[in-house]
Amino acid sequence: MSYLEVKDLKVHFPVKGGLFGRTLGHVKAVDGVNLSIEKGKTYGLVGESGSGKTTTGRAIIGLNKITSGQVLFEGQDITNIASASKDVRRDIQMIFQDPYSSLNPKKRVIDIISEPLRNYEKLTKGEETKRVQELLELVGLSPESILKYPHEFSGGQRQRIGIARAIALKPKLIIADEPVSALDVSVQAQVLNFMQEIQQELGLTYLFISHDLGVIKHMCDQIGIMYKGRYVEAGTKEDIFNNPQHIYTKRLVAAIPDINPRNRDKHLQFRQEVKNEYEQAYNQYFDDEGLAYPLQPVSDTHLVALPEKG
Ligand SMILES: Nc1ncnc2c1ncn2[C@@H]1O[C@H](COP(=O)(O)OP(=O)(O)OP(=O)(O)O)[C@@H](O)[C@H]1O
Ligand SMILES: [Mg+2]
């Protein structure tokens, strides 16, 4: 059984305009997403800017209103998470994209990290300080940092504070929205490896959002690729990286440099094939509105958005 299951999720935002602010239409930010994550695994959501990744994550956690569809967590319907039990709400936490803007600059580290704790647990001041110090140690920061402000930390350290806040309530599932994209490449690897360590240690399940396929390859077991609110392809890491089927996926995969010299010729050939197919047959992969077709299975694990044959 899957741990988190999202069924035909749609999030449509009204577009208002004119003198009376009437609804003129809708932005179909998420338009029929299905995904399923197993316990303890990492599911990667990839796609270019504006493809609907963040909206998907925010909808699951109740920060965006769901237009239609269903979200199940541990078999329980949490589509309307605001009215779900408090336990469920503490079980799912989010790490936000930008550690520079997601931490309140006027608050000290102790208040930032203990904010979720205060919503759910009655701790004495002493217990709270101890918990925050333990969390700081767990994320590799000095426990003496509790009285500092966010600006006194580097980007990587700030994201560790964001992670400490997210894990303060011992959640089961973390939605990590581009957790390293605001960081230098050298710091990215440290934070990613650290996220994998705490995943093992705390038995976490991740929904990992990124536009960077290299990062997704490093982190994820299952992958979904979004384009304009829809999926173009979904499968295991092997399906996506060794056997990409949709031209959009192929282009993303071909763009990742292959650093293994033994694969060089093969990779260059693949890149050339993709370039040719992109120039000659790109339109065949999308419908008249330029959107992805419904997904079709190509194996037990692998789905691709292709026009129906016949
Ligand atoms: N609150 C909102 N109201 C109206 N439109 C919105 C809202 N939030 C997002 N959108 C639109 O929905 C679409 C998807 O946005 P979303 O932020 O989910 O994309 P994303 O894949 O996370 O992109 P990025 O990689 O840039 O973070 C975009 O067209 C965006 O403008
Ligand atoms: Mg986003």
The per-residue pLDDT for range 108-138, each reduced to its tens digit, is: 999 999 998 998 888 999 999 999 999 999 8
199 and 279 assigned to the same domain: no
Judgement on whether residues 237 and 107 belong to the same structural domain of the protein: no
Of 186 and 202, more confident: 202
Do 195 and 48 fall into the same domain?
Answer: yes
Mutate to test the pocket of ligand 1, among 27, 65, 226 (most ligand atoms within 8 A of CB): 27
Q: Establish whether residue 27 lines the binding site of ligand 1, counting it when its CB lies within 6 angstroms of any ligand atom.
A: yes
How many domains are contained in the chain? 2
Query: Average pLDDT for residues 46-61, to the nearest whole number?
Result: 96
Across 168-176, average pLDDT: 94
From 222, 241, 258, the end of a domain falls on 222
Bridge partners of 11, per DSSP, are 30
Residue 291 DSSP class? -
Distance 203 CA to ligand 1 centre (A): 30
Q: Is 151 exposed, middle or buried (0-12, 13-18, 19+ CB in 10 A)?
A: exposed
The pLDDT-based confidence of 24 (bands split at 50, 70, 90) is confident
Kindly report the CATH number assigned to the domain that includes residue 21. Answer: 3.40.50.300
**Is the same domain home to 66 and 160?**
yes
Q: At residue 176, does pLDDT exceed 90? A: yes
Interatomic CA distance for residues 142 and 145, integer angstroms: 6
Higher pLDDT, 169 or 304: 304
Residue 201 banded pLDDT, cuts 50, 70, 90: very high
Residue among 53, 175, 209, 216 whose CB has most ligand 1 atoms within 8 A, to mutate? 53
Based on the fold, state whether residues 124 and 160 are members of the same structural domain: yes
The last residue of one of the domains, among 203, 222, 241, is 222
Could you tell me the end-to-end alpha-carbon distance of the chain, in angstroms, rounded to an integer? Answer: 34
Opening angle at CA 207, ends 142 and 199, nearest 5: 40
210/282 same-domain check: no
Q: Which atom of ligand 1 is nearest to the CA of 229?
A: 14
Q: Which of 9, 51, 228 to mutate to test the pocket of ligand 1 (most atoms within 8 A of CB)?
A: 51
Provide, rounded to the nearest whole percent, the portion of the chain with pLDDT above 70. 99
| Structural domain for 34, as ranges | 4-222
Query: Ligand 2 centre from 259 Cα, in Å?
Result: 28
Ligand 1 pocket check for 54: Cβ under 6 Å: yes
SS3 label, residue 35: strand
In this predicted structure, the answer to whether residue 275 has a pLDDT above a threshold of 90 is yes
| Whether residue 124 has its Cβ less than 6 Å from ligand 1 | no
Query: pLDDT value at position 191?
Result: 87
Residue-level pLDDT at 20: 86
Residues 238 and 213 placed together within one structural domain of the fold: no
pLDDT digits over 240-257, tens only?
999 999 999 999 999 988
The whole-number pLDDT of residue 310 equals 54
Q: Is the CB of 47 under 6 A from ligand 1?
A: yes
Do 308 and 262 share a domain, yes or no?
yes
Using the predicted structure, report yes or no on whether residue 77 has a pLDDT greater than 90: yes
Same domain, 116 and 149: yes
Q: Whose CA is nearest to atom 4 of ligand 1?
A: 13
Does the beta carbon of 210 lie inside 6 Å of ligand 1? no
pLDDT at 66 over 70: yes
For 179, the token pair is: 């957790």
- The per-residue pLDDT of the chain, averaged, comes to 92
Average pLDDT over residues 136-156: 91
Specify whether 174 is located in the same domain as 28: yes
Q: Quick one: which atom of ligand 1 is closest to the CA of 52?
A: 18
3-state percent breakdown (helix, strand, coil) of the chain, nearest 5: 40, 25, 35
Helix (H, G, I), strand (E, B) or coil at 19: coil
Confidence of residue 19 (pLDDT cuts 50, 70, 90): confident
Question: Pick from 175, 203, 222: which residue ends a domain?
Answer: 222
CB 253 within 8 A of CB 240: yes
Q: What is the mean pLDDT of residues 271-295?
A: 94
Whether residue 13 has its Cβ less than 6 Å from ligand 1: yes
- pLDDT 10s digits, 206-241: 999 999 999 999 999 999 999 999 999 999 999 999
Q: Taking residues 44-71, what's their average pLDDT?
A: 96
State whether 98 and 149 are in the same domain.
Answer: yes
pLDDT tens column, 90-110:
999 999 887 777 889 999 999
Residue 84: its pLDDT value, please? 81
Q: Predicted confidence band at 35 (pLDDT cuts at 50, 70, 90)?
A: very high
Which residue, chain included where needed, has tokens 């303890």? 40
Cβ–ligand 1 distance for 55 under 6 Å, the answer yes
Query: Beta strand pairing status for 42-47 and 68-73?
Result: unpaired
pLDDT of residue 263: 86
26 CB under 6 A from ligand 1? no
Same domain, 233 and 218: no
Question: Distance of alpha carbon 265 from its chain centroid, rounded?
Answer: 33
* Cβ 225 vs Cβ 47: under 8 Å: yes
